[in-house]
Amino acid sequence: MDPHDTLIERGAVAVSADCIVEVGTEDALNASYQAGRTIDARGGIIMPGLVNAHTHAAMTCFRGLADDLPLMTWLNDYIFPAEAKLTFDIVYQGTRLACSEMILSGTTTFCDMYLFEEAVAQAAKAVGIRAVVGEVIYDFPSPNYGPVEEGLKYTEDLIAKWRDDPLINIAVEPHSAYVCSPDLLQKARAIADRNSVPMVIHLAETEREVSEVKEKYGRTPVAHLAHIGFLGPSLIADHCVALTEEDMMVLKDFDVKIAHNPESNMKLASGVAPIPELLKRGITVGIGTDGCASNNNLDMFQEMDTAAKLHKVHTLDPTVMDARTVVRMATIDGARALGIGDMTGSLEPEKKADMIIIDISRPHLIPMYNVYSHLVYAVTGSDVVTAVVNGRILMEERRLTTLDVDEVMADVNRIAQDIS
């Protein structure tokens, strides 16, 4: 997934400590290096780990809790009340379950927006997965930090604590234009600018959101954020379903990055984001699963398959969202969207050793004429056999090395008994 889309037959990756040293043929690397440890991919696919550009990890605790409902009903009547019961420990355990699921299905980096994000950071760090995390901020009291001003302070404390961590990056994350005042959004922007960290926001997820913001501020959500000086190249805008032509021009002008969540948007009947049009404009788009309460899984291979097929049927054009484009969205473009494309998302010298191995010796993967086609339309998360993050093996031969998955599942099952 380098700039040349290099494919190497009988390839190998040389790793020292946490970094990739060289990528080339197996014969060339064996001649150049003496390995302390060799992982045999057995003819499988070695590729960058997938980047989940938007999720709410601890919502694994709410998987299947309130299905088949409109977004605002789902949020206001079920999710927000359930979240009022959240604690640090619930978020920590839910995140551990999410990390298990993501590693087992090939994700090595995720971007999280939720409550008790210190717990998310600690869980991700303990597991060894790469993460961009930020506390959700809105204009009503949070079950974590209380009043909104404390949410801003909580965010700055997160930034200070995790600033130099090799795995955890902090983002400033106001929820959306419809539950955050212009004053709060501007304060959030100031924190992000002062600390040179990214921002994340839900944006134009539904037509109802657009109507609410237009009624309140006289502009679309995109135009409203542009008007108050919120947009910029460090902003990751999640969903972006209900966009006008002018909105798309504004997003391009401000170099805003997009996180596309096709399965969540489909399940909540939010609509179909105009991703082909955004890509034509040169806007960077990554792919996210959203949370398990609105998806209901964190399998990025399934998300890639859905993203490709959704836009083909929506546009009645089988050539849009070709497999190569979708794989880039789930790897290097997702990393770029999160502001860490210089660190991960492709297998290149001096980048961090974040990679997965896919076993292709399976009936549904035989024969293989085109690797991109297989990755989008045939591979499933269960075909991933090995995962490495920052040079550390997190899964080998389908066995997690940093988690006891049975213990993790039992912990969340106990939590679910109290939630239900």
| Residue 186 CB contacts under 8 Å (≥ 6 apart), including other chains | 228, 229, 230
Cα gap 349→171, rounded to integer Å: 27
Nearest to 292 by CA among 36, 133, 66, 88: 66
Residue matched to tokens 């002062």: 194
**Calpha distance 331→320 (Å, rounded):** 18
Tallying the residues shown for the chain, one arrives at 420
The pLDDT score that the predictor gives to residue 83 is 85
Measured CA to CA, the distance from residue 100 to residue 129 in angstroms comes to 10
Topology (CATH) of 11-48+356-400: Urease, subunit C; domain 1 (2.30.40)
| Residue 145 CB partners (closer than 8 Å, separation 6+) | 135, 151, 153, 154
How far apart (Å, rounded) are the C-alpha atoms in residues 203 and 258?
A: 9
For the chain, the maximum distance between any two Cα atoms, rounded to a whole number of angstroms, is 67
Question: Running DSSP on this structure, what letter comes out for residue 130?
Answer: E
Q: What is the location of CATH 2.30.40.10 in the chain?
A: 11-48+356-400
Q: Are 61 and 419 in contact (CB under 8 A)?
A: yes
d(CA 284, CA 163): 25
Residues of the chain with CATH 3.20.20.140: 50-337
Name the residue among 115, 202, 195 with its Cα closest to residue 162. 195
E strand map for 26-178: 45-48, 50-55, 107-114, 130-137, 168-170, 173-174
- Both tokens assigned to 412: 């969340």
Q: In this structure, are strands 45-48 and 11-16 parallel, antiparallel, or unpaired? A: unpaired
The confidence score (pLDDT) of residue 311 equals 98
What distance in Å separates the CA atoms of residue 232 and residue 186, rounded to the nearest whole number?
Answer: 12
CA distance 330 to 102: 13
Distance (Å, whole) CA 84 – CA 155: 19
0.75 surpassed by pTM = yes
pLDDT of residue 252: 98
Phi, psi of 204, rounded to the nearest 5 degrees: 50, 45
Give CA angle at 284 (338, 162), nearest 5°: 5
Given a contact cutoff of 8 angstroms between Cβ atoms, the answer to whether 256 and 233 are in contact is yes
Residues 52, 261: Cα–Cα separation, whole Å: 10
Cβ proximity of 275 and 314 under 8 Å: no
Letter for the amino acid at 257? K
- How much is the pLDDT for 48? 98
Residue 79 is predicted with a pLDDT of 83
Strands 235-239 and 173-174: unpaired
| Partners of 111 in the β-ladder | 132
pLDDT tens per residue, the chain (420 residues)? Answer: 999 999 999 999 999 999 999 999 999 999 999 999 999 999 999 999 999 999 999 999 999 988 988 777 887 888 888 888 899 999 999 999 999 999 999 999 999 999 999 999 999 999 999 999 999 999 999 999 999 999 999 999 999 999 999 999 999 999 999 999 999 999 999 999 999 999 999 999 999 999 999 999 999 999 999 999 999 999 999 999 999 999 999 999 999 999 999 999 999 999 999 999 999 999 999 999 999 988 999 999 999 999 999 999 999 999 999 999 999 999 999 999 999 999 999 999 999 999 999 999 999 999 999 999 999 999 999 999 999 999 999 999 999 999 999 999 999 999 998 876
50-337, CATH topology level: TIM Barrel (3.20.20)
Distances (CA, A) of 159 to 156, 170, 214: 5, 6, 33
Q: What are phi and psi of 23, to 5 degrees?
A: -125, 130
